[in-house]
Each structure stands twice: as structure tokens, then as C-alpha cells.
Amino acid sequence: MEKLIYLDNAATTQVYPEVFEEMKPYFTEYYGNPSSVYQFAQESKNKVERAREEIAEMLNAKPEEIYFTGGGSESDNWALVATAETYAKKGKHIITSKIEHHAILHTCEYLESRGYEVTYLDVDENGLIDLEQLKKSIREDTILISIMSANNEIGTIQPIAEIGKIAKEHEIFFHTDAVQAFGHIPIDVEEMRIDMLSASGHKIHGPKGIGFLYIRKNVRIGAFIHGGSQERGKRAGTHNVPGIVGLAAAAKIAKENLESNIKYETKLRDYAISRIENEIPFAVLSGHRTKRLPNNIHFCFRFIEGESMLILLDQAGICGSSGSACTSGSLDPSHVLLAIGRPHEIAHGSLRLTLSEKNTKEEIDKVVDELKKIIERLRSMSPLYED
Amino acid sequence: MEKLIYLDNAATTQVYPEVFEEMKPYFTEYYGNPSSVYQFAQESKNKVERAREEIAEMLNAKPEEIYFTGGGSESDNWALVATAETYAKKGKHIITSKIEHHAILHTCEYLESRGYEVTYLDVDENGLIDLEQLKKSIREDTILISIMSANNEIGTIQPIAEIGKIAKEHEIFFHTDAVQAFGHIPIDVEEMRIDMLSASGHKIHGPKGIGFLYIRKNVRIGAFIHGGSQERGKRAGTHNVPGIVGLAAAAKIAKENLESNIKYETKLRDYAISRIENEIPFAVLSGHRTKRLPNNIHFCFRFIEGESMLILLDQAGICGSSGSACTSGSLDPSHVLLAIGRPHEIAHGSLRLTLSEKNTKEEIDKVVDELKKIIERLRSMSPLYED
Amino acid sequence: MYSEKVMDHFNHPRNVGEIEDPSGVGTVGNAKCGDIMRMYLDIDDNGIIQEAKFKTFGCGAAIATSSMATELVKGKTVQEALEVTNKAVMEALDGLPPVKVHCSLLAEEAIHAALWDYAKKNGIVIEGLKEPVSDIEERVDAE
Amino acid sequence: MYSEKVMDHFNHPRNVGEIEDPSGVGTVGNAKCGDIMRMYLDIDDNGIIQEAKFKTFGCGAAIATSSMATELVKGKTVQEALEVTNKAVMEALDGLPPVKVHCSLLAEEAIHAALWDYAKKNGIVIEGLKEPVSDIEERVDAE
Ligand SMILES: Cc1ncc(COP(=O)(O)O)c(C=O)c1O
Ligand SMILES: Cc1ncc(COP(=O)(O)O)c(C=O)c1O
Ligand code: FES
Ligand code: FES
């Protein structure tokens, strides 16, 4: 078979070989539990603490504000549930947006079932929230604003610093799901006045099953996973040392290459977008044209359906997705596409291609060429398309 | 330095090189997200499902009753919190024991703060619960009994099948924290009538940061980590594929060697216990003499304090622990030792040595020889010891 | 996730297209997923289905079941065609994943809708055929 | 986790033991962790500490701070010995981990308790010395 063209880096990424090399010794060699007292475990412990420092530095945070978790979903759940519980006395109202990841939305629903109230902000046709609506939604009893840094489907980047400012002015905590943004665009928790931030290892060429939650010092939320005294008593469970090492190694590489990756991917992204728009009729770009993740290409192709497109792409050796990986299996159209106003049958024909800096122009050319054929073929079968 | 003698396998274990070999391809090669539709991700998906089958088989459970988590603590939290929430209408009373791991105890305290009631069963001087007390503690509104299979400090194995029977008779769900037991002693969820069971990879020579919760089909608890539709909508978060692969590979090895490991470790354990009892005065064995994990050796040495002992052992190249790794840093004496009636100052001089099947008689001999010298030395410094 | 037969019919769908002046045509939509299937039948004077064609806006399973359904009804009498249920289509395709079972219902309903149209046009009653439940308006966008 | 100096004093504790007929002896227990330290002082007629010995039931830090504390008070006057605070002991040991700070308090209190005993025995008042707060009963088990 020809070399695979992997364009689903928003679903998950390859662990970089150099990241894996760093992780390796911590499986079979330095396997000690960082909580143990003997020397042998100090290597693990030191490595965990160095990882914490590196990640903190990247965000302009303090090491003791970084808490390792089992992934982005856990971080999101923790931020929401624990803030709700800890600050229930202050109020029970949370503001979020309609296009959050399910790790936020379903946790909000869970909190609603426990008596909390949630306001889901609208987004415009580009996926941007309206800061005025945000301000108007703030109430006496609002305790948390949770708005994602960048959307996992359509790539739109929210005005995080502005949201942070509004939250700060109203003395409300601001959490951002940065799972798609961390390591992909610059984030500074001070400048952007972020109080909590979720991130995940496997979206930045680190390992799966590891993530972190940044918690600003003045946010005194309780634990979500209760038990041992790891992570200063806030997150129980034996440290996943190789995972933490891999997360930090990947973050470091991402940090070092941030600018060049952004430049390179943006160019590739815009090249793909312009070829698709010029060569495939009835193709509608989703998300904001410039306020978007450098690696995100998302289109709705009218008159056809996503899965068929994906299977045919797959047969051509191309990995893409039709929305978020973790909702595949669901038949509902993407809540994100509905929120930006796409009608049901248009939302159906969605395709997301997400780059890494390893992708090339040649790959993009091949993909667009294939795509043209595939879409033509599927449209010829479609009862909705009359040529 | 001489070869390290690692006797802290209850804290964590080495990932076996053959387990690591199985995990390896899933970092850099087959890195696909099992939720994705393309062929490339099928390898990950199939591997995850095969892992589920293998673990299920080992417990005599069905594959669809195994839910992968981020570790033992998460599994414990999930079982307790979600059962409490889902069955709150039936009642708000939970029964557990005083010697559970903190992942259970602190979660119970958390639930108490949310209006649940918890009965903490006593244990006798060997660490066994009293089945009569259990029966008497059952109330109209009892929804869950959570008793650990085997204790992580003193190694005592509870009468799980009997507890399961009592729970079944009263139509109350039975959860067991089997983090120390899974892969170490035989467990059959049917025979023992277990409804939920927590386990963790890194206690059986698998990786850290992965575990599972077995949930019997008729237990309809909700999710603990909300979000994507992974794990049949019950546990959100991108699958930790290498972790799952490693967990299953380790479980398989543990299963294949279960009998021979039990035999070998039990012999080594009892040899160590008898040498210590014969050669070191004022040494008090903790835990049940026979109903104990094959790999657990736990003593309290009077007149001395645990940490000093550990440091001196460490300097002799021996890794042991004084209780559970995740409470090091805490100054409180072990709640387990207090529960079996050890006075404060005796509980203080505790040493836990936990074997793997790779440990040898020669190692044990060296450890006991060192231990004798160390204890003598510390006692000579102790104001409590008058010779 | 799909069987080889499904992939074969998806990759090489049989009978894609339209029939001009069909004896019956039916378009059904699947409320569950929003997918749409249109089935054309050419039925001769003896009530035998001479030709069947389809157009489908839907997932891989929808395309494969459309294809298989047209194959199965060809050459059959109207009465026999009624027995081409979604189960029959799935079996002929060596099964479908659980989340895709509903797609095969689309095929069954499309056949029924086309037959209903045929019956109506000819003023006859086909025994056992009920009015299709989910015949939906064509949603072809004018644009 | 411990500094080299701590490890040195832990591995080679100075002045372990007892003094027969000491000028002052004090035993203190740390309520926080249950550890116990006993300090013996031999003080000459000029009020200068000639010798100091200790016995400690406690963690590594407790042993090291006992050792360092005895070293620090030796040769000092009673008044000077009062300035051997837990901070002074910690500094002399190049610091202690945060969870171990309380262990150094044990050393400070043991000095105070021994001096208190000395003052009591000799019917004198040492300026600035308060009755030790946590002088605890010896808990040597008879068994
Ligand atoms: C009995 C018991 N339960 C739960 C846990 C927690 O497991 P983990 O550290 O994998 O979260 C442990 C070990 O740490 C344990 O020994
Ligand atoms: C925006 C966003 N939030 C949260 C998550 C969940 O992260 P994880 O799968 O690591 O739990 C994802 C990806 O899956 C995501 O894209
Ligand atoms: S998902 Fe709509 S027809 Fe298959
Ligand atoms: S912990 Fe008790 S003296 Fe250090």
C-alpha cells in the first residue's frame, strides 16, 4: 500500500519517536512510584517535577498550578464539577457555549441534573461567541465561565483574552478547554487571565491517557478523583510517570516549533482551502477564515453524506474525519454545525482534515484530487443533486 | 552499586519487558484513535476490544462489562460516586470498612459531604471484617457495600464470596477494590457475586495510568467522566490504547502464572516472615497469617520509627515502604494499623515488603540480615527501648 | 466495520440512477439520521419488476443496502418484492453493525414507497402493503 | 529529599546516648507525628554546656536534628543555648523539606525541656525560657 496520508490530527496524533524515546526508560527501568521515599523513586519524582515546570513555563504559570490528569476529558470534568461544588455557596450558575466539546456539554448537563443552571452562549456563523451576550448572561450567582480556546471541529479560535478580561472584571472564574489549542497556538494564562485550563497529551504528539488541568492559585477547588495525596491532595492515583514525561517532552517540542509550525500549517491549510473552494462546487468552508487553528480544514459538501466520503477517502489511503472522533457512532448531526446555522442536510456532508507539521503540499494535492473524484461520484448517486 | 532489591511491588511494579514490547507499536506506529472510522484505526480498535475480552475472561465476566479507566483510584471513585448518584432514590446509605484504601475512604467522605451516610465496618486484629456486623449494618436504604478484596498495607484477604452472598441476599450492590488482588489471587465475579470491581495496571507489571472498572450488566450506573461516547457512553476520553494493550498483556501473563506465582511467593513470604520472627525481637506481624496476599510481608518493629528504617534500607539498596506509597508525606499513623488495634507508637515502626515472583531467597536473606542490623542500630538510639 | 459484501456494494453499487417514466417511484427519509433514498421501479404488465434503480444520500450502509435491495427485487413479482425486508437485505449483505441496522430499514421503506406509488397510479391494492410511514418531501435544494 | 548534611547527621549521628546524672534531661513528644526525643545536658558551674546527648524515636529528620542540636548547644552557655532555635538547627542542616519542619521543633523543644529540668533542679530562672509545652510522659512499654 501507498504511504498513509494522515489528516486527522485533531482526533489524535502520532507520538513522536523522540517523545517516545524519552518515555521509554520509565516503563521498565525507572519504574519507581514517585511517592516512594527511596532513592530509586527519586528519578521518577524529579522527572515528574521537571515536567511540571516545563509545562508551567510554556503557559506562563507556576509549576504548583499544574495538576496532571488522565486526559482532557477528566480535566474538563474536574474543572466544572469541582468548581460547581466548591463555590455552590456563591452561586449555581455557569456560562458556556453551544459549541463546546461533549466533555464540557455533557458535564454541564450532569450539573444541571444536580441543580445547577447553565447558560449556553450562541455562536455566529463563524463559530464565534458574542462578547456582549456573554456580558449580558452574567448574573449575581454566576461562578464560572467555560469557553473553549479553539473548537475541535471547525477550528474557530475564541477571543480568550477578552473573555478573561470580562470574567476578571466580574470576579468570575474563567476555565478554557484548550485541548485543541495547547501547543498549537500561543497561550499565556496571565495575559489572557485564564483561571483554569484543560489540555491533553495526545493532541500534541504526546501519549494518550495523560493531560493536565492548570488551576490558578486563588481557585480553591477540591479534588475530582479522591484518594491518595498525590498532586498536593487534589488528584489521587499513582502518577503515570511515562505519560507525564511524554506529555512534557511533546509540549517542549511544540513550544520550540510553535512559530514555525503555525506558519507552515497556516500556509498549507489555506492552500488546501483555496484549492477546494476553487475546484469543488457547493463546498462551504466551516469556521472562521482567519481566526482558526492553523491545522484545521473543515468543509460541508452539499448533497452528500460524510461517512461515504470518509470510506472512499480511506480506500485512497487518506485518514480524515467527519466531525469529532468521539462522537462517531452517533447519528445526530454535529451540534457545532447546527450551532453555526448549517441546516441538517448540509451539516451531513462534513469533512474535517487536520494537519500536523509533517504533512506536505504533495499530500494535500493528492487529497484534493481524490476528493474531487469522490464527491463527484457520490453526488451522482444523490437524489438531492440535480446537474 | 549492587543490584537493587525491589520489595515494594504493592506500590508499583516494573512493566515487564514483554508487556512493554506489546505496547510499543501503539505509540508511534498504530497511533490511530479507536473511535475513528478508517482502516488505520481499526488496528487500535481491535486491539482494545481484544484486551477487553482477555480481561473479562480472566474474571469470568463479559467483555461489555469491562470499562477502561485511568487507574484504580478513578475506578473506585466512579463505582462509589455513580452508584450513589444513580441509586439515590433507593437510598443513601453505603457500607465499607475502616481499612479501605483512601481512594474509597476519601470518596466516602466526599459522599458524606453530599448527604450520603456511610457505615465503616470494624476489622479484627488480623484485619478481617465481621460478617455478622456487616449483616447488622444493612438497612432499608443501603445501596452499596464496598469492601476491598485484599488490603494494600497488611495484605489481609477478605471473605469476598461470603460478602457477595450477603449483598445478593439483600439485593444490595457489592463493589470490591481489587487493585491489590487482581492478578495476584483468583477472582471470579460470578462465584463471588461481585457487581463491581476496580483494578489497576501498574500493580501487575502493567503500565501506570490505566485501570478498569468491571460493572455487572444489571448495575446501571451513569458515567463519572462525562463527554465523548467512548466505552458505550460510560467513560469519556480518547482510549489510552498502549495503556490498554499493556494492561491486558500484563493480565494475561498474571493469569498464566497465577498458580505458580502464588506458590512461589507464598513460600518466599513465609520464609521471610519466619526469619524475621525468629531473629528480630519485638517484631509483630501485621495482617492475617494465612488469609493474606502471597506477596505481602508487613511487620511493626517496636521502639523504632518507619522512615529511618526505610532510609537505612534504601542505603543498603533495598526498596521497601512503611505503608501505602500514596500517603507518604502524611504524618498520621496508618489508619489500617490503628484499625487493627495497633497503638500509635507501635504503628509507627511499620515496614511493608511486597514481593514479585522475580524476587529470590538470596534477596530475602540479604534483606533480613540488613534489617537486623538496622533495627538494632535504631533501637540503640531510641528513648523507648531499654535493653 | 462493514462486511466484504457491504464494501463491495458500496464500492460498486448496482443500479444507481433513475428510470424515466417509472411504474413507481418512492422517496423516503430516515428521520433518525436525515438520510434519503429514492427508489425507481419498472414493473411490467404481469406485475414483474423488470428494472430497479436508486439514488441515495446516505452513509455507506445506506448505499450498500440500496444497491442490494434493487438487486433483490429485480425479477420478482410485486408480492414477492414485499418480502424483501430489511432483514433479507441485511442477510444478503452478511450483516450490518448494530448502529447501522436502521439504514437497512430505509431500503425496505423505499421499496414499499415505490410500490405504493405504483399501486396508486394503477388503482390497485397490493395485499399487505401499508402506506409508507416516512415518505418525505423531496428536499432538493433549488439553489 | 534530604540535604547531604541531614543525611550525614542521620547516618553518623553525633552524641547518641545518655548521660548519667545529667544536669538536665527533657523528653518531648511531637503530637503531630507521635515521635519522641530525649535530650541530656551536662552543664558546668559556669552555666556552660559541657556535654549533650540524645535518644530519638523518630524520622530521619528527627534523628538528624537531634544530632545537630546537640552539636550546636555544646560549649554554649545556657542563655546562648536558648538561641538554638529550630530555625538555627534547620539552617545548620541546609534546610528540611516542608513536611519535616515540625521535626526540627522537636529538637528545639527538647533543649528547652532539658534546660527547664536543669533550672528546676537548681532552683534558678532562665530568662526567656518558658515551661516546655509538650513534655510528655515516657511511654516506654514495660513489656
Ligand atoms: C487497594 C488500592 N486501591 C486503590 C489504589 C489506587 O490505584 P491507582 O494508584 O492506580 O489509582 C491502590 C494503589 O495505589 C490500592 O492499593
Ligand atoms: C476540545 C476538546 N476537549 C476535550 C477533548 C477530550 O480529550 P481527551 O480525549 O484527551 O479526554 C477533546 C478531544 O478528544 C477535544 O478536542
Ligand atoms: S446512517 Fe443514515 S442511512 Fe445509515
Ligand atoms: S515526622 Fe515525626 S519527627 Fe519527623
Q: Does B52 contact chain D (CB < 8 Å)?
A: no
Nine cell digits for residue A173: 472564574
Question: Chains with 3 or more CB pairs closer than 8 angstroms to C?
Answer: A
What is the C-alpha separation between A213 and A198, in angstroms, rounded? 5
Give me the residue label for grid cell 552557655: D77
Nearest neighbour of D60 by CB, restricted to B308, B332, B383: B308
What percent of chain A is modeled with pLDDT above 90? 91
A111 shares a domain with A189 = yes
Q: Domain residues for B112?
A: 17-256
Q: Quote the percentage of chain B above a pLDDT of 90.
A: 91
With contact defined as beta carbons under 8 Å apart, do D88 and D65 qualify? no
Residues A234 and A148 reside in one and the same domain: yes
Pair B68, B201 in one domain: yes
Neighboring chains of D (3 or more beta-carbon pairs < 8 A): B
CA distance A331 to C108: 19
From B74, which residue of chain A is nearest by alpha-carbon distance? A225
Instruction: Read off the pTM.
Output: 0.94
Q: Which DSSP letter does residue C59 get?
A: -
Q: Which of B371, B382, B312, B326 is nearest to B76 (CA)?
A: B326
User: Residue A330: helix, strand or coil by DSSP?
Assistant: strand
CA dist., res. B237 & res. A103, Å (int): 8
| Residues whose CB falls within 8 Å of the CB of residue A281, separated by 6 or more in sequence, listed in order | none
Distance CA(A36)–CA(A41), nearest Å, equals 6
Residue B233: helix, strand or coil by DSSP?
A: helix
For residue range A8-61, list pLDDT tens digits in order. 999 999 999 999 999 999 999 999 999 998 999 999 999 999 999 999 999 999
Q: Which of D72, D103, D105, D115 is catalytic?
A: D103
Give the model's confidence band at B348: pLDDT under 50 very low, under 70 low, under 90 confident, else very high: confident
Is A199 a member of any domain?
Answer: yes
Using a 10 angstrom Cβ sphere, with 0-12 exposed, 13-18 middle and 19 or more buried, the burial of residue A217 is exposed
Judged by DSSP in three states, C32 sits in coil
What was the pLDDT predicted at A324?
A: 57
Residue C94: CB atoms within 10 Å: 12
A368 shares a domain with A304: yes
* Closest chain A CA to residue B79: A225
Q: A298 pairs with which residues across the strands?
A: A352
Residue A87 and residue A137 share a domain: yes
Question: Is C33 annotated as catalytic?
Answer: yes
Determine the pLDDT at residue C138: 39
pLDDT bucket at B135, cuts 50 / 70 / 90: very high
Q: How far apart, in Å, are the Cα atoms of B188 and each of B166, B191, C37? A: 16, 5, 50
Residue minimizing CA distance to atom 1 of ligand 4: D59
| Range B152-171 average pLDDT | 98
Pocket test for ligand 2, best of A152, A153, A224 (most atoms within 8 A of CB): A152
Residues of A in contact with B335 (CB under 8 A): none
**Grid coordinates of A278:** 476553487
Q: Is C31 on the interface with A (CB under 8 A)?
A: no
Q: Which residues, numbered 199 to 228 in chain A, qualify as contacts with chain B under a Cβ-Cβ cut-off of 8 Å?
A: 200, 202, 207-210, 222-228
Residue B211: pLDDT over 50: yes
Q: Give pLDDT tens digits for A144-193.
A: 999 999 999 999 999 999 999 999 999 999 999 999 999 999 999 999 99
Give the separation between CA C53 and CA C16, rounded to whole angstroms.
6
Q: Check A243 against B209: CB less than 8 A apart.
A: yes
Is there a single domain that holds both residue B295 and residue B365?
Answer: yes
Do the Cβ atoms of B6 and B13 come closer than 8 Å?
A: no
CA B387 to chain A, closest CA, distance in angstroms equals 30
What pLDDT is recorded for position C142? 27
Instruction: Tell me the CA distances in angstroms from C84 to B226, C9, C81, one per residue in order.
Output: 41, 17, 5
Q: What is the pLDDT of residue B329?
A: 52
CB within 8 Å of chain A, chain B residues 233-272: 236-243
E strands, chain B, in order? 5-6, 66-69, 93-97, 117-121, 142-146, 173-177, 196-200, 211-215, 283-285, 296-301, 318-319, 350-354
| Segment among A153-162, B229-238, B284-293, D134-143 with least mean pLDDT | D134-143
The yes-or-no reply on D/C contact (3 CB pairs or more, < 8 Å) is: no
pLDDT average per 10 residues of sequence, chain A (387 residues): 88 98 98 93 96 98 98 98 98 98 98 98 98 98 98 98 98 98 98 98 98 97 96 96 98 98 98 98 97 98 91 96 62 88 89 97 98 96 82
Sequence-distant (≥ 6) Cβ neighbours of residue B291 within 8 angstroms: B126, B128, B156, B157
Q: Is residue C62 in contact with ligand 3, taking CB distance under 6 Å?
A: yes
What number is the average pLDDT over the span B89-101?
98
- Please tell me the predicted confidence (pLDDT) of residue C31: 63
Other beta carbons within 10 Å of D4: 9
B383: number of CA atoms within 13 Å, CB side? 29
As given in the structure block, the three cell numbers for residue A163 are 473573555
Q: Is B247 in the same domain as B337?
A: no
Sign of the alpha-carbon dihedral angle for B332, B334, B336, B341: negative
D99 and B CB contact within 8 Å: yes
Quick check: is A21 in a domain? yes
What gap in Å lies between CA B225 and CA B236, rounded to an integer?
Answer: 6
Query: Considering only CB atoms, which chain D residues are within 8 Å of B331?
Result: 32-33, 99, 102
B124 phi and psi angles, rounded to 5 deg: -80, -175
A386 domain-assigned? no
Last residue of a domain, one of B208, B234, B256: B256
Query: How far is residue A63's CA from residue A50's CA, in Å, rounded to a whole number?
Result: 9
Give the CATH number of the domain where residue B290 resides: 3.90.1150.10
Please check whether residue B387 lies inside any domain of the structure: no
| Residue B305: closest C-alpha in chain D | D58
CA atoms within 13 A on the CB side of B164: 20
Residue A83, phi-psi category: left (phi > 0), alpha (psi -120 to 50), beta (remainder): alpha
pLDDT at D141: 30
| C65 contacts on A by Cβ (under 8 Å) | none
The H or E element that residue D120 is part of is helix D101-122
Q: Is C59 a catalytic residue?
A: no
C99 close to A (CB below 8 A): yes
pLDDT of residue B324 exceeding 60: no
* Alpha-carbon Rg for chain D in angstroms: 14
Q: How far is CA A110 from CA A77, A263, A338, B49, B222, in A?
A: 10, 40, 22, 28, 10
- Of A256, A272, A297, the last residue of a domain is A256
Same domain, A183 and A39: yes
Pocket of ligand 2 (CB under 6 A): A 71-73, 76, 101, 103, 148, 152, 177, 179-180, 200, 202, 211, 326; B 237-238
| Shared-domain flag, residues A41 and A182 | yes
Is A278 exposed, middle or buried (CB count within 10 Å of its CB: 0-12, 13-18, 19+)?
Answer: exposed
| Residue B106 in domain | yes
Mean pLDDT, consecutive 10-residue segments, chain C of 143 residues?
93 95 91 82 95 93 95 95 94 92 90 95 90 51 28
For residue B161, give the C-alpha cell: 464470596
pLDDT confidence of B355, banded at 50, 70, 90? very high
* % pLDDT > 70, chain B: 97
Q: Which ligand is the nearest neighbour of the Cα of A240?
A: 1
Task: Answer yes or no: do B197 and B266 share one domain.
Answer: no
B74 and B45 part of one domain: yes
Position B289 scores a pLDDT of 97
| Helical ranges in chain A per DSSP H | 17-23, 25-28, 39-59, 72-86, 102-113, 131-137, 160-169, 241-256, 258-279, 306-315, 335-339, 344-347, 361-381
SS (H, E, C) B64-84: HHEEEECCHHHHHHHHHHHHH
Q: Give the pLDDT of residue D99.
A: 83
Residue nearest to atom 16 of ligand 1 (CA): B152
Q: Residue B3 gets which letter from DSSP?
A: P
Q: What is the tens place of the pLDDT at every residue in B212-243? A: 999 999 999 999 999 999 999 999 999 999 99
Q: Domain ends where: A192, A221, A256?
A: A256
Q: Is residue B386 situated within a structural domain?
A: no
Which contiguous run of DSSP H or E holds residue D91?
helix D86-92
d(CA B37, CA B188): 35
Instruction: Locate the DSSP E strands across C1-143.
Output: 24-29, 36-43, 49-57
Smallest Cβ–Cβ distance between D63 and the set B329, B333, B381 belongs to B381
Is any Cβ of chain A less than 8 angstroms from the Cβ of B383?
Answer: no
Q: Nearest residue on chain D to B381, judged by CA atoms?
A: D55
In ligand 4, the atom with minimum distance to the C-alpha of D100 is 4
For C29, which DSSP code?
A: E
Question: Three-state SS for A345?
Answer: helix
Question: Which domains does chain D possess?
Answer: 4-122 (3.90.1010.10)
Q: Which three cell numbers stand for residue B102?
A: 483512601
The DSSP 8-state label assigned to residue D17 in this structure reads S
pLDDT at residue A146 in the model? 98
Dist. CA D100 → ligand 4 center (Å)? 7
Neighbours of B142 (CB within 10 A): 21
**Once rounded to an integer, what is the mean pLDDT over residues D114-125?**
94
Q: What is the pLDDT of residue B328?
A: 53
Q: Does the CB atom of residue C30 touch ligand 3 within 6 A? A: yes
CB A94 within 8 A of CB A84: yes
Ligand in nearest proximity to the CA of B181:
1
- CA D119/CA D43 separation, integer angstroms: 11
The sign one gets for the Cα dihedral B87, B92, B95, B101 is positive
Q: Number of structural domains, chain B? A: 2
A237 inside domain: yes
Distance CA C13, CA A375 (A): 15
Domain presence at residue B202: yes
Q: How far is CA D102 from the centre of its chain?
A: 13
Beta bridge partners of B285: B299
CATH of the domain at A191: 3.40.640.10
Other CB atoms within 10 Å distance of the CB of residue A17: 11
* Length of chain B in terms of residues written: 387
Are B186 and B267 within one domain? no
Residue D34 clears pLDDT 80, i.e. is over it: no
Please give the distance, rounded to the nearest whole angstrom, from the Cα atom of residue B289 to the centre of ligand 2. 48
